[in-house]
């Protein structure tokens, strides 16, 4: 039902389909958005990387994420979780540290960092509809050393 030529809508759909549990459809939408708008803003990449992560296509997710490592506040946490699922734990911890440092500068994030409940806060703020997707994200973050 989306306009097939509305790149911004397709990029947003990449995130939404992944959050709803259809990561493959999210990937298709994200790739279509990139094809339609080759001069896209970084957030297109952040949404596509999130869909790739949800599809457990970690190498592709990380390759995309490297081009927009800070598109969103939670981008570093998705990067950390992706690397952790790839068993690249030293790199994952670096991304986790960057995410925690950025989160600590926000009004809602500072208390979560101080109280060691970063994973909980990020799960509350990410709209995954399926518990298995929430668990997947949480597991990756915890493997990367993110507290909570």
Give the per-residue pLDDT at 2. 56
CA distance 85 to 101: 22
Is pLDDT of 3 > 80?
no
Is pLDDT of 1 > 60?
no
Give buried/exposed letters for 104-123 (b at 16+ CB in 10 A, else e).
eeeeebeebbeeeebbebbb
Q: How confident is the model over 21-41, as pLDDT tens digits?
A: 999 999 999 999 999 999 999
Q: Is the pTM of this model over 0.85?
A: yes
Q: How confident is the model over 51-67, as pLDDT tens digits?
A: 999 999 999 999 999 99
Give the per-residue pLDDT at 127. 80
Region at 83 (left for phi over 0; alpha for psi -120 to 50; beta for the rest): alpha
Mean pLDDT of the chain: 95
Give the per-residue pLDDT at 112. 96
Over residues 132-142, the mean pLDDT reads: 97
Closest CA to 23 of 138, 128, 131: 128
Give the per-residue pLDDT at 126. 82
Is pLDDT of 103 > 90?
yes
Q: What are the residue boundaries of the structural domains of the chain, listed by start?
A: 1-56, 73-148
């Amino acid at each position: 039902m989306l306009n097939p030529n509305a790149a911004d809508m397709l990029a947003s759909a990449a995130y939404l389909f992944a959050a709803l549990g259809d990561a493959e459809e999210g990937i298709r939408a994200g790739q279509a958005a990139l094809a339609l708008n080759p001069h896209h803003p970084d957030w297109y990449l952040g949404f596509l990387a999130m869909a790739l992560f949800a599809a457990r296509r970690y190498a592709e997710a990380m390759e995309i994420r490297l081009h927009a490592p800070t598109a969103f506040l939670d981008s570093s946490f998705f990067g950390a979780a992706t690397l952790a699922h790839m068993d690249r734990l030293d790199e994952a911890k670096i991304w986790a540290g960057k995410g925690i440092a950025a989160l600590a500068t926000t009004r809602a994030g500072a208390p979560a960092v101080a109280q060691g409940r970063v994973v909980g806060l990020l799960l509350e703020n990410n709209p995954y509809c399926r518990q298995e997707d929430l668990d997947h994200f949480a597991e990756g973050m915890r493997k990367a050393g993110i507290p909570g």
